Amino acid sequence: DSGVTQTPKHLITATGQRVTLRCSPRSGDLSVYWYQQSLDQGLQFLIQYYNGEERAKGNILERFSAQQFPDLHSELNLSSLELGDSALYFCASSVEGGRGAYNEQFFGPGTRLTVL
Amino acid sequence: AQKITQTQPGMFVQEKEAVTLDCTYDTSDPSYGLFWYKQPSSGEMIFLIYQGSYDQQNATEGRYSLNFQKARKSANLVISASQLGDSAMYFCAMRHPSGGSYIPTFGRGTSLIVHP
């Protein structure tokens, strides 16, 4: 158990809908990262928050947004969902802020999103 | 653009033998970090080992070692004395500078199966 929790574990929804994925980092970790893992695209970094502020951005679509709250939990919002958004969405956390090459991240169990 | 290549989609190894998983990377940044992660069938991502671009010695963590050849831009993972529990997907990743921070890029992974 990494100490990172993600809810829900599974989510099934329809095209055009909006969903929210939730992540709670390990105690003491200030950074939260979101990843998407799909058969087509592999594992892709989406976005990072550090202590409530956006720190780095990867291949995140405009239909997707995230935020980190004062209690450090984070939410990833996915809107206007398409079939291709079906994937495993991981959250990870770290103590480091991400401004260096070294960064040990602890991954949550993931949320499996299925868009029908 | 930064890129990670894992050329072996699948590898087989006999229990107790050593196995090498290949990873090559492409970057023009002098500062970067190389990581290996393990993803068992249960889905979680587990950090295995890290090598910084300025590190002179190859990283080792228990049965895992990273064969870092900077001039060839390769960062192969060596697993010694394979165990049945090593059967999993293995991902090579590189953290590289981007917009004042560092972001990760992942390879497509190698599936390792350990035979008894």
pLDDT in tens, A34-58: 999 998 889 999 999 999 999 999 9
Shortest CB distance from B32 goes to which of A101, A107, A110? Answer: A101
CB A24 within 8 A of CB A1: no
Query: Quick one: pLDDT band at residue B66, thresholds 50, 70, 90?
Result: very high
Burial grade of A93 (CB within 10 A; 0-12, 13-18, 19 or more): buried
Is the bond leading into B40 cis (omega within 30 degrees of zero)? no
Give the number of other CB atoms < 10 A from CB of residue B83.
Answer: 11
Which residues of chain A make contact with B102, given a CB cutoff of 8 A? Answer: 56, 98-101, 103
Beta bridge partners of B34: B51, B94
- Yes or no, beta carbons of B47 and A58 under 8 Å apart: no
- C-alpha dihedral (A75, A71, A95, A87), degrees to nearest 10: -10
What counts of helices (H) and strands (E) characterise chain B? 0, 12
* pLDDT tens per residue, range B8-37: 999 999 999 999 999 999 999 999 999 999
Write the pLDDT tens digit of every residue in A53-94: 999 999 899 999 999 999 999 999 999 999 999 999 999 999
